[in-house]
Structure 1
Amino acid sequence: MSNTEVENLLRVLAPQVLGAVVRRYGHFDTAEDATQEALIAATTQWPEEGVPDNPRGWLITVASRRLTDLLRSEQARLRREDTVARWALPEQWLAPAADQPAADSDDTLVLLFMCCHPALTPAGQIALTLRAVGGLSTGEVARAFLVPEATMARRISRAKQRIRDSGIPFGLPPATERAGRLGAVLHVLYLIFNEGYASTAGPNLHRAELSTEAIRLTRLVHRLLPDDGEVAGLLALMLLTDARRLARTGPDGALVPMAEQDRSRWNGGQVNEGVGLLTEALPRGETGPYQLQAAIAAIHDEAPTAEATDWPQIVALYELLLRLSDSPVVALNHAVAVAMARGADAGLDLLGKLETDQRIAGDHRLHAVRAHLLEMSGDHPAARAAYEKAASLATSLPQQRYLNTRAARLAEDR
């Protein structure tokens, strides 16, 4: 088995192993460290020695023994500090994994609920999900978010400390809390995907490793909860959006807007899978925001040309979405759809209402949309100024270059 195949297998097994170890021994933070060490051992040994017959059991054994070492070391430290009387280590926590069969249950969903617990900050939820459920190392998570590894290590450590201090039991939340907590899980996966598909900072337009990992984890949740319409909707949205990724950049890495993309480069397999998921989910129960966003993405993806896009239907879907969410980004996208369906002036009127919304007033996207609509209306001097303003606020280098290029093009047209 190649190194890549081993890495892919380990990503699948990582949450199963961590779940099994936490379920058996508790100590989420220490179990997570032990599991990471088991994954590192497998990465080193398996390519040379071969993958064991039961790779999941092998990992659980190594992680459990390492956990035992860590707990014994902690117990010795506490004895030296004369506090052992306040901290008794249950004997069953010291039993080596080889003495017990590995549990067959997949605790990945439980881990996702733990990593997305409301006691954690959104940044902590994302970091812990990628490390504990995604199987990424601290260094990999740090590189994905363009921060020093030491910074990410502290962020992950704080998140694990909060879980330990909160006394969260290992198990699915009560039925009364499950829907809300599932919403937090889906939101975290949505944020991870968005950061991968449209990076908010750095030299690249997207980070495929993040969007790919978000899709993988959402597939996993969909497998565990196949009848949940919003899980299916989120997976469909990711697939339908990611299908356009290769066409979003030109040969020089420059951003290519959707209207100018070569649609033959869109991933037809992902489009078909996303549409199929959506078609199956929509008739079941109440339609949620992820399903509506996926429906909008499907209309874009199924249009043979930009000119053939059914903008009136997209406007109607955004208006449904606005009833469910007061998100300024949804309102911004609605304004674009209205402009495409009814003319630039209609869209500009809606933008005026967003200028006083402090959640988006300083966001480059508001000024970029204004610039585009002003250009559509023929007011090129105002459009140029808006493009320059948007470029000054953008933190992604490809977006800055695109916006400055649009501004320069309008200057040349004078």
Structure 2
Amino acid sequence: MSSEVAGADAALLRGLVPEVLGILGRRGAGFAAAEDAVQDALVEALRTWPADPPRDPKGWLVTVAWRRFLDATRSETARRGREERAEAEPAPGPAPDHDDALELYFLCAHPSLSSSSAVALTLRAVGGLTTRQIAAAYLVPEATMAQRISRAKRTVAGERFDRPGDVATVLRVLYLVFNEGYSGDVDLAAEAIRLTRRLAASVDHPEVAGLLALMLLHHARRAARTGPAGELVPLAEQDRGRWDTALITEGVALLQAALARDRLGEFQAQAAVAALHADAPAAGETDWPQIVEWYDELIRLTGSPVARLNRAVAVGEADGPRAGLAALADLDPALPRWTAVSAHLHERAGERATAARLYVEAAALASSAAERDHLTRCAARLHTGSAG
């Protein structure tokens, strides 16, 4: 988790957070108050467990969190109802087994929340991360993230733990977490995979399996995505011997099982594209015509402009760069990466001067330093080649 958890079993703690939250909720605590109490208990666990680990970790967290909740309610008011709740405090002992994770996923991805708020609340309430860690991962001040989480908790304060939710919204939130990759002291890609595995254990849904497959197939290529100096390595140039074959095998198996249920969704379609890339022993052996077909399915499902842009790249590989440029001409040049794709296709068509100019323009529009540097190197390579 970080240096602040030295000696504590951080993975165990984070895994218990949703269960403890659910127990407090069933005892009558509102979500916002329960979440605050559990965070307090978590901090106390990080402080005391290394020297004095409990025999029943979940029971310990439940007891401490419940007492913190009672302390908070007593400080607010001395009304009889809350005093009666205090008197009903259960004796310490083994906590009951009940998986509240699914309800928490739905609550934290409530449609009334913005995407950024839903992500932050999911990482804290379901993932068990501290506000500081979430802030560091998203490169914002801790106070800013604390305000974002507080607003999100107020928004869902009146929602019940057991109300049905939208799986598709939860999946979009988890995919947003995954795409943040690695920042600060938290590996958000790995965290997203962990949370998606937990969701898959709670709900039987082919799109959940599709998202997990997609994450695993992308994560399998992680070690090959950057060079020795941290430079971006495009998919076609990656050392496939560095791909994680165990993750690929697991991802493909999950995808095949999901597709067999004949309830195709966008994450299954994206995972199918990733699986075709993973299946190719070399870039030149990629089944591009089938990838184009899967992008057609994805566009049918979502109408996504990004899917159309990726389809243009695939068409350029399957039918030649001119066909790719024709597909690209139907899209809005303001789309992210449109200029970079155009540069790539013009280069493949032999139009080096045009490609070099477009690479320079794309570098100026890049969303990350690694992408900007890569596109700048592409432009420099073509300029050098022309001069030679």
| Alpha-carbon distance between aligned partners in 1 of 2:44 and 2:20, rounded to the nearest angstrom | 14
* Other structure's SS at 1:354 match: coil
Question: For 1:74-85, what aligned pairs fall within 5 Å after superposition?
Answer: 74-75=76-77
2:124 paired residue number: 131
Amino acid at match of 1:396: S
| Alpha-carbon distance between aligned partners in 2 of 1:239 and 1:348, rounded to the nearest angstrom | 31
Q: How big is the shift at 1:285?
A: 3.3
2:202 paired residue number: 224
- Asked if the contact 1:25–1:93 (Cα under 8 Å) also holds between the matched residues in 2, the reply is no
Residue 380 of structure 2 corresponds to residue 408 of structure 1? yes
Where does structure 1 lack aligned partners over 5 or more consecutive residues? 77-83, 198-203
Residue 339 of structure 2 corresponds to residue 367 of structure 1? yes
Amino acid at match of 1:119: S
Amino acid at match of 2:181: G
**Offset from partner CA, 1:20-63 (integer Å, 9 cap, x none):** 1122122211111111111111112111223x221111111111
| Alpha-carbon distance between aligned partners in 2 of 1:97 and 1:139, rounded to the nearest angstrom | 32
Where does structure 2 lack aligned partners over 5 or more consecutive residues? none
Residue 9 of structure 2 corresponds to residue 6 of structure 1? yes
| Alpha-carbon distance between aligned partners in 2 of 1:88 and 1:14, rounded to the nearest angstrom | 27
1:59 paired residue number: 61
**Offset from partner CA, 1:209-239 (integer Å, 9 cap, x none):** 10000000000011112x3111111100000
Structure 1 residue corresponding to 2:181, chosen from 191, 196, 203: 196
1:41 paired residue number: 44
**Offset from partner CA, 1:307-338 (integer Å, 9 cap, x none):** 01000110111111111011111111111100
Q: How big is the shift at 1:100?
A: 7.8
* Other structure's SS at 1:293 match: helix
- Asked if the contact 1:195–1:207 (Cα under 8 Å) also holds between the matched residues in 2, the reply is no
Distance 1:405 1:259, change over 3 A: same
Distance 1:257 1:207, change over 3 A: farther
**Offset from partner CA, 1:74-96 (integer Å, 9 cap, x none):** 226xxxxxxx7xx9637225643
- Asked if the contact 1:215–1:239 (Cα under 8 Å) also holds between the matched residues in 2, the reply is yes
Structure 2 residue corresponding to 1:316, chosen from 286, 293, 317: 293
Amino acid at match of 1:413: G
Residue 236 of structure 2 corresponds to residue 251 of structure 1? no
* Other structure's SS at 2:112 match: coil
Question: For 1:142-157, what aligned pairs fall within 5 Å after superposition?
Answer: 142-157=135-150
1:163 paired residue number: 156
**Offset from partner CA, 1:347-393 (integer Å, 9 cap, x none):** 1111111126xxxx152x11111111111111112111211111111
Distance 1:309 1:93, change over 3 A: farther
* Other structure's SS at 1:118 match: coil
Q: How big is the shift at 1:102?
A: 2.7
| Alpha-carbon distance between aligned partners in 2 of 1:241 and 1:107, rounded to the nearest angstrom | 29
- Asked if the contact 1:68–1:95 (Cα under 8 Å) also holds between the matched residues in 2, the reply is no
**Offset from partner CA, 1:220-275 (integer Å, 9 cap, x none):** 011112x3111111100000110000100001000000100000100011000001
* Other structure's SS at 2:358 match: helix
Q: How big is the shift at 1:342?
A: 0.4
Residue 32 of structure 2 corresponds to residue 29 of structure 1? yes
Amino acid at match of 1:192: V
**TM-score, scaled relative to structure 1:** 0.88
Distance 1:322 1:90, change over 3 A: farther
**TM-score, scaled relative to structure 2:** 0.94
Structure 2 residue corresponding to 1:383, chosen from 355, 359, 366: 355
Structure 1 residue corresponding to 2:133, chosen from 135, 140, 145: 140
Structure 1 residue corresponding to 2:101, chosen from 92, 101, 108: 108
> After the TM superposition, which of the residue ranges 399-408 and 249-258 deviates more from structure 2?
399-408
> After the TM superposition, which of the residue ranges 284-293 and 333-342 deviates more from structure 2?
284-293
- Asked if the contact 1:387–1:403 (Cα under 8 Å) also holds between the matched residues in 2, the reply is yes
Question: For 1:309-348, what aligned pairs fall within 5 Å after superposition?
Answer: 309-348=286-325
Structure 1 residue corresponding to 2:187, chosen from 209, 227, 239: 209
Amino acid at match of 1:189: L
- The share of aligned pairs that are identical, in percent, is 52
- Asked if the contact 1:245–1:266 (Cα under 8 Å) also holds between the matched residues in 2, the reply is yes
Amino acid at match of 1:144: A
1:80 paired residue number: none
Distance 1:314 1:116, change over 3 A: same
- Asked if the contact 1:64–1:97 (Cα under 8 Å) also holds between the matched residues in 2, the reply is no
